[in-house]
Amino acid sequence: MSPPPAADTDFQATEARLPAPGLPPVLARFDPEAEARARDLARAAAAFDVCHPALALRAVLLVQAVLAVVALGGAATAADWGARQASLAFGGAGGSLLWLVAVCAARRPLGRLGPMGRSAVVLGLGAASAVAVWLPLAWAGLVQGGTLRGAGVLLAGAGFAALLWAWLDLRARIRQPADASARLAELQSRIRPHFLFNALNTALALVQVDPERAEAVLEDLAQIFRTALAEVGASVSLAEEIDLARRYLAIEQVRFGARLQVQWQIDPAVHAARVPPLVLQPLVENAVRHGIEPASRGGRVSVSASLQRGQVVVLVSNTLGDAPGSPGHGMALHNIRERLRLLHDVAAQCDVWREEGQFHARIMLPAP
């Protein structure tokens, strides 16, 4: 039975409209509930992403600071406080590290749970981690044992897990607006009208003389905008970003012809590395726009990705023509750096420099 006709309004449900035969499916719809779920999942993924050494170190130091204050409560002298703090610090460090390892290993299934389920699992892991550290010490006679002491350890572990979870969740909430702002600015700097205009003009010029190439240009253009406008998660694989950059450069090669030479050197071992979405394409677009377009003879864009000393190194280089290009915008580079920091903390970096008639942009990432 067909649904009743929708009211005459500007916000009719797109789900009730089926595409005509032969037309491509709708690529994106506005769904507030789906948007809210996506934001919740993204925040949960960010909160549980405790696998970075720098973030884990901060969590351990936070627990140690709280334990140092707790040790003051029952200490009569400085020596007494030092002894109590040493015992608490040893157990706290072990329990914290065990909890962080468990959360890191289970971060994906934890991110898919609801808020109550996440809280229950997080507190349970905290209690279990505390007991797992306390039991061997109690059996060895290094700390006091007993049922009552064990119950206290359980509660303390759950309490510290709640503290760490609250801190991680707050960090993710603070990070989310910055991530959204960086993504919006990145989209604004990337989906420029001149690129769309040039790509469509290129396809129109090819329709009569080379329909297959025109179709390929439109397919690449559609994939670029599908990726740009899709609701994506916190990260994508480097292989996906490389594919997007290939499509962009394929369109530009059709437009510039022999003026644009492209070289690729990609090590398959780097494909699984995680990067923020839409982080590589702005670099190759910058290379074309400021290096190739203003040069009367054109030039070369080189893209390489390799493993070097335990890190993934992505390098985008372009030749510089004699004519000065239009001034670039530092906002795109700032956004790339900010999004890399949000995803990988201090383990990733992005830098640019000029050397021997070439402009280089380099991204360094943790190895997959």
CATH number for the domain including 276? 3.30.565.10
Host domain of residue 120: 35-175
Structural domain ending residue among the three candidates 126, 147, 175: 175
State residue 312's pLDDT score.
Answer: 95
- Do 293 and 219 fall within a single domain? yes
Distance CA 34, CA 73 (A): 48
Name 263's bridge partners.
302
The pLDDT tens digits along the chain (368 residues) read 444 444 333 323 333 333 334 434 433 443 444 444 555 555 555 555 677 777 788 888 888 888 888 777 766 677 767 777 777 787 888 888 888 888 888 877 877 777 788 888 888 888 888 888 888 877 866 667 677 777 888 888 888 888 888 888 787 776 655 555 555 555 544 445 566 677 777 778 777 777 888 888 788 878 777 766 655 556 789 999 999 899 889 888 888 888 999 999 999 999 999 998 888 988 998 898 888 888 888 899 999 999 998 899 999 999 987 655 555 556 678 878 888 887 887 788 999 999 888 999 999 999 88
One domain for residues 273 and 159: no
**207 and 331 within one domain:** yes
Cβ within 8 Å of residue 6, ≥6 positions away: 12, 13, 16
| Rounded Cα distance, 269 and 306, in Å | 8
- Answer whether residue 27 is part of any domain: no
Strand order across the beta sheet in which 299-308 lies: 260-266, 299-308, 311-319, 358-366, 349-355
Q: Tell me, yes or no, whether 354 and 225 share the same domain.
A: yes
Taking the model in full, what pTM does it have? 0.59
67 shares a domain with 206:
no
In 180-254, at which residue ranges do the beta strands (DSSP E only) sit? 236-237
Selection from 102, 19, 15 nearest residue 59 by Cα? 102
Nearest-angstrom CA–CA distance, 164 and 50: 11
Q: 300 with 343, same domain?
A: yes
Based on the fold, state whether residues 216 and 351 are members of the same structural domain. Answer: yes
Say if residue 120 is in the same domain as residue 203: no
Report the distance separating Cα 113 and Cα 98, nearest Å: 21
262 has which bridge partners? 301
Q: Is residue 266 part of a domain?
A: yes
- In this structure, is residue 357 part of a structural domain? yes
Kindly report the backbone phi and psi dihedral angles of residue 298, in degrees, each rounded to the nearest multiple of 5, phi listed first. Answer: 80, -155
210 and 352 inside one domain: yes
* Total tally of structural domains belonging to the chain: 2
